[in-house]
Structure 1
Amino acid sequence: MDLVLGAADRYVFTPYVYPATWPEDSFFRQTLSLLIVTNLGAYILYFLFATLSYYFIFDHSLMKHPQFLKNQVYREIMFTVRALPWMSIPTVMLFLLELRGYSKLYDDIGGFPSGWFQLIISVLSFLFFTDMLIYWIHRGLHHRLVYKHIHKPHHIWKITTPFASHAFHPVDGFLQSLPYHIYPFIFPLHKVVYLGLYILVNIWTISIHDGSARQEGKSLLGEFTKTE
């Protein structure tokens, strides 16, 4: 995230936003800047790719399904718009730790004996690690003591559109994103790869809510719990 923040400081924040007396490495400035960048980036990714998916991939005939809610698309969007800022707060705390050097993120491929091989393996490892943890987190969110309080709001949308992709309770949304942020604190990962994977993960989240995975999602729900 320091790559994004560095560019934002260079071209926007330093020349146009913050006073010259506020140093770029100030803890409070970095926190505020990360909140702005994270929320702006999340909204751009969400509205851009969810809109493209909605108009070019989503099967609009699903909107005639009896379980498709009245004004559902609007409700999905408003739910997301309200939830994303709250999800961003703990996310920014992790970004801040990364920015201050507590993670294993690196920017020099030559710093490892294996070089490019290390980078390729890290991508595969990242995908395995995050997919495994998200499965267990998702399963835990379906526990009867947790489900109705945190995860059930996401299952209001029985027939999902791409706009439901980020319509989570803030705690639910953050917990399911947590494996992506934990990984670089445990294993080395290139900064550009991390940023690219973070973007791709958000696009993937939108893609699995475009209607084509509806039956698979319902079978998982049935497997986890019947608490609805």
Structure 2
Amino acid sequence: MMVGNISSSVDEYKALFVEETSFYNRIFLGSILPPILWENLPHFFQTWLRNYIGGSLLYLGSGFLWCFVIYYWKRNLYIPKDCIPSKKAMILQICVAMKAMPWYTLLPTFSEHVIEMGWTRCFPRISDVGVPTYLGYILIYLLIVEFGIYWAHRELHDIKPLYKYLHAIHHIYNKQNTLSPFAGLAFHPLDGIIQAIPHFLALFLVPIHFTTHITLIFIEGLWTANIHDCIHGKVWPVMGAGYHTIHHTTYRHNYGHYTLLMDWIFGTLRDPTLDDDDFEFNKSKKVC
């Protein structure tokens, strides 16, 4: 009888994840699509469709808004005129990203599936652990992600076939006047997935709140736009666009993601305020 009760409790606990995912699917898909297009799909494909449409809207919406502000509305305030990328370059970046988007969004969909199966250390409610513990888990989770993305990114450069056939597609944007917020997701699909895998692996290493995990995945889309806009914000210890622009011009520095920590630890950090012939920064902290 005790075994049966434990099994029932586990099933009920796992059902909370399915219930939450189904709620997100109904709210999001139901607000933009007629029921006939999604209600009869299996749960996994409903989740993928929600992630695909949501990811596409986030990428396109944030990208167009970002570009409108820095290239047109506030033209020459953040980016000098000769650093603004051409429309052709931005359209190419959009095409590359949108071709990869169906594949990108398979990873968060699969991660939600394994969470629903109870195979990870996810928990459904913050109240399950309390706020202080929840915040501590987020910190550990982000450190794992930071470490994993640093090494995934670095190996995409160091392992020649990976660079040649995957990562080089992203590095055709190797000048400041070819980089834009749209370049943030302009990767070969497998390249983008490799760099996102640390989010997935972290689910098995540290307890993390389910909705927080999903949110952090989609924040990646905003963050990658930010670090490709060539505006050097200089907020220590953030790995902002100034540092990432150096990565696109030297190829051997600043592999990190959110912070400077891993590049500092492993000796690949390069400060954008240095006076160097490879890149110049004007006195108003603009990359040009």
The superposition leaves residues 138-174 of structure 1 with CA deviations (integer Å, 9 ceiling, x where unpaired) of 0100022320101000011123100111110000000
Name the counterpart of 1:64: 82
Instruction: Letter of the 1:168 partner, please give it.
Output: F
Name the counterpart of 1:25: none
Name the counterpart of 2:246: 216
Return the TM-score normalized by structure 1. 0.81
Q: How does 1:182-221 map to 2 (within 5 A)?
A: 182-212=201-231, 213=241, 215-218=245-248, 221=251
Q: What is the percentage of aligned positions where both structures have the same residue?
A: 23
Among 32, 37, 42, which residue is 2:45 paired with?
A: 32
Instruction: Letter of the 2:30 partner, please give it.
Output: V
| CA apart distance, 1:200 | 2.1
Return the TM-score normalized by structure 2. 0.65
Among 165, 173, 177, which residue is 2:184 paired with?
A: 165
Instruction: Letter of the 2:173 partner, please give it.
Output: W
| CA apart distance, 1:198 | 2.1
1:193 and 1:184 mapped to 2: Cα distance? 11
Helix, strand or coil for the counterpart of 1:80? helix
1:131 aligns with 2:131: no
Which is worse superposed, 127-136 or 177-186?
177-186
Helix, strand or coil for the counterpart of 2:42? helix
| CA apart distance, 1:123 | 1.6
| CA apart distance, 1:53 | 1.5
Which is worse superposed, 181-190 or 33-42?
181-190
1:9 and 1:167 mapped to 2: Cα distance? 30
Residue 30 of structure 1 contacts residue 96 of structure 1 at CA under 8 Å; is this kept in 2?
A: no
Helix, strand or coil for the counterpart of 1:105? coil
Q: Which structure has the larger Rg?
A: 2
User: Structure 1 residues 142, 189: CA separation in 2 closer, same or farther (over 3 Å shift)?
Assistant: same
User: Structure 1 residues 191, 220: CA separation in 2 closer, same or farther (over 3 Å shift)?
Assistant: farther
Instruction: Letter of the 1:12 partner, please give it.
Output: G
| CA apart distance, 1:19 | 9.2
Residue 104 of structure 1 contacts residue 187 of structure 1 at CA under 8 Å; is this kept in 2?
A: yes
Q: Which structure features the higher share of helix residues?
A: 1
Q: How does 1:117-128 map to 2 (within 5 A)?
A: 117-128=132-143
Q: CA RMSD in A?
A: 2.9
Higher relative contact order (CA 8 A, sep 6+): 1
| CA apart distance, 1:220 | 5.7
Helix, strand or coil for the counterpart of 1:142? helix
Name the counterpart of 2:99: 82
Where do 5+ consecutive residues of structure 2 fail to align? 1-16, 232-240, 256-288
1:156 aligns with 2:172: yes
| CA apart distance, 1:39 | 0.5
User: Structure 1 residues 18, 166: CA separation in 2 closer, same or farther (over 3 Å shift)?
Assistant: closer
Residue 108 of structure 2 contacts residue 214 of structure 2 at CA under 8 Å; is this kept in 1?
A: no
Residue 130 of structure 1 contacts residue 180 of structure 1 at CA under 8 Å; is this kept in 2?
A: yes
Name the counterpart of 2:113: 96
Residue 38 of structure 2 contacts residue 46 of structure 2 at CA under 8 Å; is this kept in 1?
A: no
Which is worse superposed, 180-189 or 85-94?
85-94
1:44 and 1:188 mapped to 2: Cα distance? 29
Instruction: Letter of the 2:194 partner, please give it.
Output: L
1:146 aligns with 2:162: yes
How many residue pairs end up in the alignment?
214
Instruction: Letter of the 1:196 partner, please give it.
Output: T
User: Structure 1 residues 203, 5: CA separation in 2 closer, same or farther (over 3 Å shift)?
Assistant: farther
1:167 and 1:219 mapped to 2: Cα distance? 17
Where do 5+ consecutive residues of structure 1 fail to align? 23-27
2:195 and 2:38 mapped to 1: Cα distance? 37
2:145 and 2:250 mapped to 1: Cα distance? 18
